[in-house]
Amino acid sequence: MKVVFVSSEIYPFAKTGGLADIAGALPVKITKHGIRTFAFMPLYKTVDTEKFGIKPINVKLDVYLNGRSYTFEVYKLIDGVSYFFLKNDELFGRDYLYGTPEGDYPDNDVRFGAFSYAVMEFIKNEGLNPDIIHVNDWQTSLIPVLTYYKYGWHDVKTVLTIHNLAYQGIFDKYSIERLNLGWDLFHMEALEFYDKVNFLKGGIVFSTAVTTVSPTYAKEILTPEYGYGLDGLLRKYEKKLFGIINGIDYDVWNPETDKHIYKNYCSFTLQNKDINKEMFLKETGLKDKSKPLFIFIGRFAKQKGIDLIIDSIDDLSKLPINLAILGSGDKGYNDFFESIKGKYENIFVKVGYDEPLSRKMYASADFLIMPSLFEPCGLNQMIAMRYGTLVVARKTGGLNDTVKDISEKDGYGIVFEKPEKHEFLNAISRAVELYKNKTTFEDLRKKVMELDFSIESTAAKYIKLYENIKYSREVKL
């Protein structure tokens, strides 16, 4: 079987969030199962071609859009998976992937539209003949539309994975012309969405199967509360919608081999996790190792429950805990967290994206907090547990599928229901109490380290889906 896998970010080449982690891990795993995999992403300015050995091949792709042409040079890396990086500096030679902290780049439709056409041209020119084209999120959602409608490849099956329904790629209606799409697609049953063009909607309508990244989120997005205006459409296509829980690559996230942490450990040498905590407190100026260390790592976006943290910050500063926050995102949030740097003795803040620091935090912490308003899957909680860090999470989406409250049989985390300050603070207090009971706490640590959240089972499910849709008219998992 041949699979073309397309994503706007792939770890380790470019990453803003969990999409990159999955797009990094999944092609590698499915390749190990004998599937020939061709992975595509744009060659951003930020990709370190030298470090990864990404080399130009002598292939150029011309995309004609709205009276002008965009030329992409093709770069390649073979490492089990065949990776192709499409280079056009006018569109992708910028400081950020999607936009600055002030907002999205206004020409994102042309950027990712042109990239999508370039992928199609490459598939055609090189005669790749894939059985499946697997795309991810709105940035690559035009590809199923092009596959079916523009290129007429009705035998090629397409899978769209929705990593986050909150981002749909919505543009003014003349995007249709900018992308040479034809006004017949500007229809309620196709790309039209309240008089605008919606990329993700096109992907949902035209792909053979739609997946999202956890079973709970697959149900949630059928409701107006989580559906971001697309719940009706998703209900209509419910038969081809599946929730496949993400996993993490246990080779990439492994406290036994992680080069960035202070001291490696496993579930049998947990005393070394304590050394990590000690060193981290020293490095960040936090005091008193006997207090539980809570961490938050993530995008500063409303989705992540940042407002709950901000509203609770004074209360958190008065609790017998240490708290370390690492993140970046919306300007208002960045400014807030910059403004509280050094204000509280027990709160350390770093605004920015810093993978080595994040790894030290996972290794040092006692608890990770994830008060998300919604969470399609969430990888942080899986990484934290792999590092023996217990999770305090809101009961939503993938968090609901991966964190079980200690009050339940075999529970191993702290879960709260409503995204409200008193519930959040109550969950933190429950964690503080749990921490006092050393034996239970240590047992739970071992337990979460031994749970299986690996990408292996995720990959097996996608392969099953690919096989089912390749050979059958019925879409099933």
Residues at the contact surface with ligand GLC, assessed by CB under 6 A: 17-19, 22, 163-164, 213, 246, 375-379, 398
347 binds, among ligand ADP, ligand GLC, none (CB under 5 to 8 A by kind): none
Which of residues 379, 390, 393, 399 is near ligand ADP by CB under 6 A? 379
Minimum distance of ligand ADP from residue 326's CB (angstroms)? 5
Residue nearest to ligand GLC (CB): 18
Going by C-alpha positions, the residue among 150, 128, 305 that lies closest to residue 325 is: 305
Draw the binding track, 311-340, toward ligand ADP (x: CB under 6 A; -: no contact). Answer: ---------------xxx------------
How many CA atoms, within 13 angstroms, populate the side-chain half-sphere of residue 203? Answer: 32
Residue from 42, 243, 247, 378 binding ligand ADP (CB under 6 A): 378
Nearer to ligand ADP, 70 or 337 (CB): 337
CA 173 to chain centre: 28
Indicate which of ligand ADP, ligand GLC, none lies near residue 203 (CB less than 5 to 8 Å, by partner kind): none
Contact residue for ligand ADP among 4, 14, 17, 401 (CB under 6 A): 17
363 counts as binding ligand ADP under rule CB under 6 A: no
Q: What is the DSSP letter of 292?
A: P
CB atoms within 10 A of CB 342: 10
Nearer to ligand GLC, 136 or 346 (CB): 136
| CA distance linking residue 285 with residue 71, whole number of Å | 51
Number of CB atoms found within 10 A of residue 42's CB: 26
Tokens 């940035």 map to which residue? 139
Residue type, 282: K
The token pair at 413 is 């985390």
The DSSP secondary structure of 165-226, one letter per residue, reads TT---EEETTHHHHTT--GGG-STTTTEETTEEEHHHHHHHHSSEEEES-HHHHHHTTSHHH
216 binds ligand ADP (CB under 6 A): no
Structure tokens belonging to residue 180:
């040479």
The item of ligand ADP, ligand GLC, none sharing an interface with residue 213, based on CB under 5 to 8 Å by kind, is ligand GLC
| 214 is a site residue for ligand ADP (CB under 6 A) | no
When the beta carbons of 175 and 207 are compared against ligand GLC, the nearer one is 207
Name the site residues for ligand ADP (rule: CB under 6 A): 17-19, 21, 297-299, 326-328, 353-355, 358, 377-380, 383
